[in-house]
Structure 1
Amino acid sequence: MCLYTCIGTNSQSFPDTGVVVTCVKNFPESRGVVVGLLKGFVGLSGAIITQLYYAVYGGNNSNSLILFIGWFPAAISIVFCRTIRVTKVVRQSNELKVFYDFLYMSLGLAGFLMIIIIVEAWFQFSKAAYGGIMAAVLVLLFLPLAIVIKLEYDVWMGKKLQALNGSTSQLQIVTENEMSNADVVASTLPSSSINGEATTQITQSQPQREQVSCFKNMFRPPSRGEDYTILQALFSIDMLVLFIATICGTGGTLTAINNLGQIGASLAYPKKSISAFVSLVSIWNYLGRVAAGCLSEFLLTKYKLPRPLFLTLILLFSCIGHILIAYDVPNGLYIASIIIGFSCGAQFPLLFAIVSEIFGLKYYATLYNFGAVAIPVGSYILNVRVTGHLYDREAERQLLASGLVRTAGENLNCNGVHCFQLAFIIITAVTVFGGLVSVILVVRTRKFYRSDIYKKFREEAKAAEMEGGGGRVVVEQQGRGSGSVVSME
């Protein structure tokens, strides 16, 4: 079972890395929105697969559930893997609007799933009804494809019209003297040939740069936004600060989410309320992911607000949820589940977008996963070593106070506010410390984010667009001794 768990858990990183890294490289100027949307759909994936399972197998069958989890994700990866590829950076004028349309559709899907989850908690559906729900979920899930098809059709028609206009336009060359054969050859030479010869001469004249070992320059990183090597990124102060802040932030929120059922039981909430907490966390986790990605991208583009600043605000915001749990505010667990779910989801797109912006995209796949390592590290420290230990200690104290003896194999149960109070006070302090640490990154990167961090990507997109447009160099002979005029056709 340990081997199965290891393979299953690690297999998730393959499609996650392939999809996120590829999309960030394809849409570098909208990376915040892209990461937010992708991570948002990851947050909804559990609810989507649950509805598909109910429709296919009818539910209430653990063997079929394990079988479904075994074959369905693998089949999806095999079917769609050919569509995931890095393309030339060509920015469409309405690119951001298209992503916002995707956002609105995902919000509709999330709202529909939340309603279905709440209704299913109260009523029992037949397999046919689950089939209808699955059909509605699939329609909402694939609805963005209609926008993509229309956009691709408009782009194809635009290129077709441009090619038609280009073929009808001709350049009239008026010469005073008869051109020589060499001039005629030069006049019809493709620009790629001329540029290629010039490039070859320049390349031959330039000395080849000496290859420097990655270990020699690991403590001499380039400017922020340029492509760091893996060692330069891992040994940089920015990565260390980001790693510590992520351990403190995600460690606390994941601890709250993982123990939400036990927290509700220890504080004497009814079972239906605990189920509602889980649903609220899932939906607000999704909303946090898409909101953090889209809002930070908008404010970064419009007002040059550094993205690490949003990470600091999210960490401090999550402390409200931790305090509500620690002091058992009446009905506070409802609000805490919303705050913690939102805060937990918001940290993921911010973390991965910051890594791509500061350290470049050349080794983004490796650095993306290294940043993700901080998440289980923080969860282990705060969930297992802190919360689990303090919960067991309080449960044993209550057991001794009641005069009962714990039998072999019996689980420890703790009741009352003291079960998680000290643990979440510690988590609050750790999260505040993570927020203060992230301020260091805000200060260090403020000049970088005030600059045009996407300038080079716009230049690459413009160069790719000009290259795709083609062209032909025409040399017009003006006469003896008067030189020539070069024009582009």
Structure 2
Amino acid sequence: MLLKSKSITCLRFSSLFPIFSCLYNSNPRVPCHQKQAEQAVVQREMVVAAMSSSAGEAANLVLQVLRGRWFMIFASCLMMSAAGATYMFGIYSPSIKSALGYDQQTLNTLSFFKDLGANVGVISGLIAEVTPPWFVLFLGASLNFCGYFMIWLAVTKRIAQPKLWQMCLYICIGANSQTFVNTGSLVTCVRSFPESRGIVLGLLKGFTGLSGAIFTQLYYAIYGQNPEGLILLIAWLPSLISYVFLPFVRVLRNKQELKAFYSILYVTIALAGYLMVVIIVQPRVHFTAAGYKTSAAVVVTLLLLPLVIIFRQEIPKLKKSPIPSYIPSEAKEAEKQQEALPAPPASPLSPPPAANGSTPASTGAVSCLKKMFKSPDRGEDYTILQALVSIDMMVLFVATICGIGGTLTAIDNLGQIGQSLGYQKQSIGTFVSLISIWNFAGRVLAGFVSEIFLAKYKFPRPLMLSCVLLLSCAGHLLIAFAIPGSLYFASIILGLCFGAQWPLLFAIISELFGLKYYSTLFNFAAVASPIGSYILNVRVAGYLYDQEGLKQRGGLPTHGELTCLGSHCYRLSFIIIAGATFLGFLVSLILVMRTRKFYKGDIYAKFRQANNMEMAAQEVPASEVTGGHDARNGLPDSRKG
């Protein structure tokens, strides 16, 4: 009995207090230290197993997030938030003008090539048709750094002063990177969420609209009040972001979920609200270097906050469908059998090949021409040529030239407009920065509101585009007549209207002409922007501004910077621009009449059907995939009878 009681005591206390195993050793033949070692090994194995399980779950969660489509949305948002360098031209253009001795018309010529590069994205669209999104983004990041870095070298006199055509080439190359980001990330997200394309376009283009205000805070924190530093920041930061996140951008189709979009939208609105407060406060309160750095830290925190939303979206999916530890041999055999199946026979609808294996060139040319001018129904996949020669695309192109060309002219000349009207330098900086906020608001409102109105009330997007064009006429007239304080209201109206036109334009193109060649078609439509900018900015606003400046100097020719002061400097220019925008409004009504029946129907029906079929194909029972084995541990499934 005594020996038995000692053994029980040892068993009870040895696991908690190993020293008791030495005092009450029930088996003298087994050394005390050997029993302690065995128990320590067991405990270590249990701790290692628990830690391995936790580490495995954490690793699975991270992989689930990185592979998921919501992280793809997050990566695209970050890249789009750094893709708006062209909208900050009003901040760093005075440095280019003074450093290189340009007059206003020369500066507007440089601005035209900036707009040309930022909107002529046909090359990036064609590249995206045959390459994956990551390659498109890689090219864009490289072009961004090369173009803006050369501009920074020229402005800081680190190289000999380039000729005008060289500066135009540099800024065109740097701005053209924006089209690669749009094609690589924006088009990919639209294809991943076709039923929510308005929301996706509004959200992503909204981040582009905020980029001006975001970069302003970052460059204050890094470079202080040095405009040349802003050019350098534009050169390296967007490229770095694209290089880091480009592997995660690809097409991912799944169930459409709007709740996460609205959550990201709320965070974005908070970011926009904070930026607006900072923009208003900074000119009135003296900020130290620490204050600028704190402001930039808050901006970066809000930019990264959607990661919390993404993890909350992915955790339930990980619990429902845990990642299998290995693929059983039966599943591998099924995959091999599937790969070994013969290719399906040729469709009977496809034309038979000629006797020599090729179609005659004359027959192919005739059929190509017939197909080009025989457009499919609206909403079906047009070919590139079918879309380009369609009346709908031509009408949309003309309306874009008038609308976006006019608002872009106002944004690019906002600094000069404020200077001619006698506003202080800090107030001019406030105008330019607030344009980014209103630009963001216009893009988000146009994307989300047009999607809601289309789903609930069948309100056509072309009609909303017409309303935006009509509203922008009021903003141009406010600048033309220069009422005291009118520049504040004009910047709000034109920022909203400029931002609203882009998601509406891109959504209309995707709805009318399909998504098959969307990357090329939406880039073609964007070409209308530099055309409108050249006509209205260079040939109208720049020319008339210089003429007014020469009148103030008595008509004497001058070399270098030419400045005009007074409300008359831009009056005639913006009266002409307001008339051109009203013409665009009238032209857009033609598209409204032509597409009214199309928008009364269910334009997303085929995408819902395709998505449901894809989801049904993916929801295969685990027993069928793993050959009757449990997917989690590889054991036979005991639930089968």
Shift of 1:160: 5.0
Q: In the aligned structure 2, how far is the partner of 1:368 from the partner of 1:409?
A: 41
Within 2, Cα distance between the matches of 1:70 and 1:261? 22
Q: Give the conservation status (yes or no) of the 8 Å contact 1:214–1:231.
A: no
Q: Which deviations, in whole Å up to 9, do the C-alpha atoms of 1:115-165 show, x marking residues without a partner? A: 22233223443443333222211111111121111111122323459x9xx
With the length of structure 2 as denominator, give the TM-score of the two structures: 0.64
Letter in 2 for 1:134: A
Q: How does 1:248-267 map to 2 (within 5 A)?
A: 248-267=402-421
Question: Distance between the aligned counterparts of 1:298 and 1:126, measured in 2?
Answer: 44
Q: Is 1:84 paired with 2:257?
A: no
Question: What 5-or-longer segments of structure 2 have no aligned partner?
Answer: 1-165, 325-333, 353-358, 626-640
Q: Which moved more, 1:365-374 or 1:328-337?
A: 328-337
The equivalent of 1:291 in structure 2 is 445
In structure 1, the partner of 2:552 is: 398
Asked if the contact 2:213/2:434 (under 8 Å) is kept, the reply is no
Q: 1:130 to 1:266 in 2, by over 3 A?
A: closer
Tell me the SS of whatever aligns to 1:217: helix
Between 71-80 and 293-302, the greater mean CA deviation after superposition = 71-80
Distance 1:356 1:344 in 2: 20
Following superposition, the deviation at residue 330 of structure 1 comes to: 2.9
Indicate the residue corresponding to 2:348 in structure 1.
206
Partner of 2:596: 446
- Deviation of 1:101 (Å): 1.5
Give 1:326 deviation, angstroms.
1.5
Pick aligned residue for 1:463 from 609, 613, 633: 613
The 1:132/1:248 distance shift into structure 2, 3 A limit, reads same
**CA–CA distance in 2 between the matches of 1:205 and 1:336?**
59
CA contact (8 A) 2:212 2:433 kept: no
Contact 1:249 1:315 in 2 (8 A): yes
Question: In structure 2, which of residues 580, 583, 586 is the aligned counterpart of residue 430 of structure 1?
Answer: 580
SS in 1 for 2:382: coil
Deviation at 1:36, TM superposition (A): 0.8
| Structure 1 segment 107-146 matched on structure 2, within 5 A | 107-146=269-308
Shift of 1:307: 0.5
Q: Secondary structure at the match of 2:224?
A: coil
In 2, the alpha carbon distance for the partners of 1:147 and 1:254 equals: 35
Aligned AA (2:603): I
Root mean square deviation, CA, Å: 2.8
Write out aligned runs for 1:165-184 (5 A).
none
Q: Percent identity of the aligned residues? A: 56
CA contact (8 A) 2:217 2:296 kept: yes
Aligned counterpart in structure 2 of residue 47 of structure 1, from 202, 209, 213: 213
User: How far did residue 59 of structure 1 move?
Assistant: 1.9
Shift of 1:64: 4.7
Partner of 1:233: 387
Structure 1 residues 247, 207: closer, same or farther in 2, change over 3 A?
A: closer
Inter-partner Cα distance in structure 2 for 1:365 and 1:269: 42
Shift of 1:460: 1.1
Deviations 1:252-305 (A, max 9, x none): 111111112222232333434333322322211110011111100100011111
Question: Do the aligned partners of residues 17 and 204 (structure 1) sit closer, same or farther apart at CA in structure 2, a change above 3 Å counting?
Answer: closer
Tell me how far apart the structure 2 counterparts of residues 287 and 407 of structure 1 sit (CA, whole Å).
43
Q: Residue 10 of structure 1 is aligned with which of 155, 173, 176?
A: 176
> Could you tell me how far 1:447 is from its partner in structure 2?
1.0
Match of 2:201 among 16, 35, 50: 35
1:244 matched to which residue of 2?
398
TM-score normalized with structure 1 length: 0.83
- With CA pairs under 8 Å and 6+ residues apart, which has the higher RCO, 1 or 2? 1
Amino acid at match of 2:316: D
Q: What letter is aligned with 2:233?
A: F
Q: How far apart are 1:113 and its partner, in Å?
A: 1.3
Q: What pairs with 1:185-204 in structure 2 (closer than 5 Å)?
A: 200=344, 203=345
Instruction: Report the 3-state secondary structure (helix = DSSP H, G, I; strand = E; otherwise coil) of the residue aligned with 1:12.
Output: helix
Question: How far off is 1:411 after superposition?
Answer: 3.2
**TM-fit CA distance, 1:408:** 3.4
Q: Is the 8 A contact 1:32 1:293 kept in 2?
A: yes
Which amino acid in 1 is paired with 2:348?
A: Q
Deviates more, 1:391-400 or 1:256-265: 391-400
Q: Alpha-carbon deviation of 1:206?
A: 3.5
* Letter of the structure 2 residue corresponding to residue 332 of structure 1: S
Code of the aligned partner of 1:208: S
- Counterpart in 1 of 2:495? 341
Output the CA distance in 2 between the equivalents of 1:204 and 1:432: 53
Change (3 A) 1:207 1:233: closer
Which of 247, 256, 259 aligns to 1:97? It is 259
1:54–1:266: structure 2 CA closer, same or farther, 3 Å change rule? closer
For 1:264-413, list aligned pairs within 5 A.
264-400=418-554, 406=556, 408-413=558-563
Map 1:412-427 to 2 at 5 A.
412-427=562-577
Secondary structure of 2:371's counterpart equals: coil
- Secondary structure of 1:134's partner? helix
Q: How many equivalent residue pairs?
A: 437
Match status 1:19 vs 2:185: yes
- Corresponding residue of 2:32: none
* Structure 1 position 79, deviation (Å): 0.6
- Aligned residue in 2 for 1:153: 315
Deviation sequence 1:339-369 (CA, Å, 0-9, x none): 1111111101101111111111111111111
**Contact between 1:58 and 1:127, CA under 8 Å: does it hold in 2?**
no
- Kept in 2, the 8 Å contact 1:244–1:434? The answer is yes
1:61 shift after superposition: 4.4
Question: For 1:463 and 1:32, how far apart are their aligned partners in 2?
Answer: 23
Q: CA deviation at 1:371?
A: 0.9
After superposing the two structures, state which structure 1 stretch, 442-451 or 45-54, moved more. 45-54
Contact 1:43/1:286 (<8 A) preserved: yes
Is the radius of gyration larger for structure 1 or structure 2? 2
C-alpha displacement of 1:205: 7.6
| Pair 1:137–1:383, CA change in 2 (3 A) | same
Letter in 2 for 1:52: L
